[in-house]
Structure 1
Amino acid sequence: MEALFPELTPFRRDTIRLHPRPGRPSPRDSSVGGPLLWPAEEIWPVCRQEHYLRTFSGERYYDEGEVYLVPIVQIHRKDVPALPFPEGCDLLQVLWCPFTHIGLYCPEPRVFWRDSRTVEHVAEAPSPDENAPEQHIPRPCVIHPETVQEYPSWDLPEEIDDALLDRFENLEQEQGWSYHYHLSEVPGIKLGGYPGWTQDPLWPECQWCERQMEHLLTVSSREYDGESWRTWLPVEDRETDSGEEGGRAHWGEDAHSPTGMMLGDAGGVYIFECRSCPERPMDYRFDCS
């Protein structure tokens, strides 16, 4: 990439693809949607905000009860050592309220960092609220972390994008590779790098130090789409049809939608943190097609 487009070099970032696949992780495993190494003596977090829910009949109403948060991602440092953990912590846990919330109209996440060595007795996760949207609760998945380099698509500065446009188009015409679909941002659930935006970027600023926050985690509906599979679908997941590799055969299967989630119209929730502040405050954004 940088041999063809040296202007992209300053924008290169490492991202960690989690490659979730349905499985039976334990609390001692890194996972997406799996059981958490949550201390039995610690109260399970709940959401007390108003919840927005659409019923099958099309009616809309607010639900104001306490809702237990559901596990989304758990990362042990031994599995993803490149992730910048806070000092004294070796475990990242992300949960969210599965209901839609007013404002961003998506589940509301929370981030917890802890020292796994202090957890002796593990709590069993409460059952999700019976009215919670199933498409906001991931199936338990084991992960297969892979660090790759990526370049910005939506986050590429406009003046750089304009300067490279003709060369991007020439590459696509000559070799069939679209910069924005095949060669820039990694799709799927990932740590670090660039958010997997589907619309214009909207980076949050820390309310304490007013610096732009850093991307911690993208939780997306799908691992790839009808275009991006050509470069981002793992070799192990590829099938052949009449001698040609195909990605569409995987739609609805483990490689394409391993968690079973659907966030809006194939969208994603993007979680950010401020590493300049000791408390590591977090924020989040949501977008979809």
Structure 2
Amino acid sequence: MTRTTPPRPLDVEAVFPELGVLRRGATRLHPRRGVPTVRDSSVGGPLLWPDGEPWPVCAIPHKRGSGYRYSDVVREREILERAWRRDPRFGPNAEEVDELAGFRRGRHAPHLADTDPVPMIAVAQLYRRDVPGLPDIGEGDLLQVFWCGFERHGDSRHDLHVELRWRHSEDVTSPLAEQPAPQVVGRRELVPAPCVLHPEEIVEHPDLMALAPSLRDRIDVWEGPEDDGGPQYLSDASTAPGWKVGGHIAWPLTGPRPLPCSVCGAELGPLLTVDHTEWDPSTRSWIPYEDRGEADSMGANVPTAVSPGRGRLTIAACPRDPHHPLGLVGQ
């Protein structure tokens, strides 16, 4: 099923023409639960990975023996989804509740040393045929995204470690049959549920706080109080919620900051945004037409079950050289 974002409830470029030069194209990915194959663009699905090619691992030193069993996270979701489909009022039965109670955080892999390589989690794969906004860097038509199952990296020791792989899909003639996964993850919300994608091209404008102060002040005056029920630039006309490629970065928590490449100094650009929710109470105007009938159903706006860091993560890449270090923006 396709997904169609309704027209924006306000034409901000008609009122503020200077926003026209700041517009950017973005591709909303619209992940929805499904059974993707290696030949599909997906979140949490099997990757088109060559049999015999080493799987990405995290060897950065950090504690990795305690957390949640990866297999328990997957099993827990299976139980809950089946239970709520069977009984939308009460969910799991007594036997299922007993099994769920055993899925606890603990030291489930005490044999793992801080530097032992652990398989990275397959987060997503995107085919350029499906995602028009995917950049063409001359290294293939397929982007594969991985991260470590622990947020214990970087200077803060609270960041994710993310890796990207580009490849030519036609070169993979013998795909890997069984996808590696870590034994333990730091949080359940770092394990994506299998989703198929329904990409859609849209237009975005910068986050309100990324605009020049004079323009920001004029928009504030023009749109009036937020509680009057009218459309708001920030919620309805700037950045789309949910998973997307390209577009603008939303800065709800920290405000905008420069993102210089650590190697060449070029400003990093948003490649992929991973979001906990597809919509929330303030962004309901972005709900696709096709989802409106079920928009308030349990879990409808959290199909991937992923929530990195504070809930939204933008992976930013160098426009000059894709091999330069990535930038991560958590909001």
With the length of structure 2 as denominator, give the TM-score of the two structures. Answer: 0.75
Contact 1:202 1:285 in 2 (8 A): no
Identify which of 8, 21, 29 aligns with 1:18. 29
Residue in structure 2 matched with residue 243 of structure 1 by the alignment: none
Q: Give the Cα–Cα distance (whole angstroms) in 2 for the partners of residues 9 and 52 of structure 1.
A: 48
Deviates more, 1:123-132 or 1:143-152: 123-132
Q: Give the Cα–Cα distance (whole angstroms) in 1 for the partners of residues 24 and 33 of structure 2.
A: 28
Deviations 1:136-193 (A, max 9, x none): 01001000000100111242233321232211227x6776111111221111110001
Instruction: Give yes or no for the alignment of 1:262 onto 2:307.
Output: yes
2:326 partner SS? strand
Which letter does structure 2 place at the counterpart of 1:271?
I
Q: Give the Cα–Cα distance (whole angstroms) in 2 for the partners of residues 5 and 96 of structure 1.
A: 40
Identify which of 183, 187, 190 aligns with 1:136. 190
Q: Give the Cα–Cα distance (whole angstroms) in 1 for the partners of residues 249 and 197 of structure 2.
A: 19
Deviations 1:187-244 (A, max 9, x none): 1110001123332123421123211011101111111111101x1111111138xxxx
Residue in structure 1 matched with residue 272 of structure 2 by the alignment: 217
Residue in structure 2 matched with residue 276 of structure 1 by the alignment: 320
Instruction: Give yes or no for the alignment of 1:149 onto 2:149.
Output: no
With the length of structure 1 as denominator, give the TM-score of the two structures. Answer: 0.85
Residue in structure 1 matched with residue 330 of structure 2 by the alignment: 287
More helix by share: 2
Instruction: Give yes or no for the alignment of 1:71 onto 2:122.
Output: yes
Which letter does structure 1 place at the counterpart of 2:182?
P
Q: Give the Cα–Cα distance (whole angstroms) in 2 for the partners of residues 122 and 205 of structure 1.
A: 37
Count of residues in correspondence between the two structures: 274
Contact 2:190 2:308 in 1 (8 A): yes
Which structure would you say has the larger Rg? 2
More strand by share: 1
Residue in structure 2 matched with residue 31 of structure 1 by the alignment: 42
Residue in structure 1 matched with residue 163 of structure 2 by the alignment: 110
Deviates more, 1:102-111 or 1:41-50: 102-111
Which residues of structure 1 form unaligned runs of 5+? 241-246
Instruction: Give yes or no for the alignment of 1:90 onto 2:141.
Output: yes
Structure scoring higher RCO (CA < 8 A, sep ≥ 6) equals: 2
Shift of 1:58: 10
Identify which of 217, 231, 236 aligns with 1:182. 236
Identify which of 25, 50, 58 aligns with 2:61. 50
Residue in structure 1 matched with residue 131 of structure 2 by the alignment: 80
Percent pairwise identity: 36
1:218 partner SS? strand
Instruction: Give yes or no for the alignment of 1:253 onto 2:264.
Output: no
Q: Give the Cα–Cα distance (whole angstroms) in 1 for the partners of residues 149 and 276 of structure 2.
A: 14
